[in-house]
Amino acid sequence: MRLILLGPPGAGKGTQAAKIVEKYAIPHISTGDIFRTNISQGTELGKQAQGYMDKGLLVPDELTCGLVADRLSQEDCKVGFMLDGFPRNLFQAISLDEILKDTDTKLTKVVNIEVDKELLVARAVGRRICKSCGATFHVEFNPPKEDGVCDVCHGELYQRADDNEETVSKRIQVYLDETKPLVDYYSKQGIVASINGDQQIDKVFKDIELSLGSEK
């Protein structure tokens, strides 16, 4: 199963990704997570990416496409993969087409999670993430049992630096300008499953499972 998760910031991609990779046993490749790990480790890539991320802009394609190509060439991706946050513009989509062509593989599905713009800022600003295991919560819509503590591993929850109202609004605009056109790009290939993301988390996942049917 080779999947792309598309959708605006706050749509619920990371939340659904955790459920999808558990059920389908494929690696979860989030370019945002890769950049954040590099920032926390103080790598050169992290230093280059940080300024763009703080402003809500896309990290340049030269930094992004190569790292995805490297990641997809790793052994664990032989069984498939789920890309979350990549591709984010037409250049990246074409670059992914080339990677797939080189390996003689095709995308199974593009899962497009749709949520009204009005809800997205509240979703992202209230997001809290576990420092240890990466599980995602929301202070209001999906609160942890204990304030600030992860339900899964009891790790400490933190708020992403770019989850403030100003940066989130910018990221939504960047999504509308650069990423949303990819829905059309993949629709022309007949592989888009659009999912209503404004439902309970488990119901969104049920709809994704239905859309994937018996795909392998």
Binding site for ligand ADP (CB under 6 A): 7, 9-15, 123-124, 126-127, 136-138, 141-142, 197, 199, 201, 204
Binding mask 121-160 for ligand AMP (x = CB under 6 A): ----------------------------------------
Active site residue 36: no
- 178 DSSP 8-state letter: I
Catalytic residue among 2, 36, 88, 128: 88
Active site residue 128: no
Q: Which is nearer to ligand ADP, 31 or 38 (CB)?
A: 31
Helices 44-55 and 31-41, axial angle in degrees (round to 10): 120
Q: Which residues lie closer than 8 Å to 166 by C-beta, 6 or more apart?
A: 56
For ligand AMP, the binding residue among 7, 56, 134, 197 (CB under 6 A) is 56
Burial class (CB in 10 A: 0-12, 13-18, 19+), 122: middle
CB of 216 to ligand ADP, least distance (A): 25
- 177 DSSP 8-state letter: I
- Find which of ligand ADP, ligand AMP, none residue 86 binds, CB within 5 to 8 Å per kind: ligand AMP
Q: How far is CA 143 from CA 128, 130, 157, in A?
A: 9, 12, 11
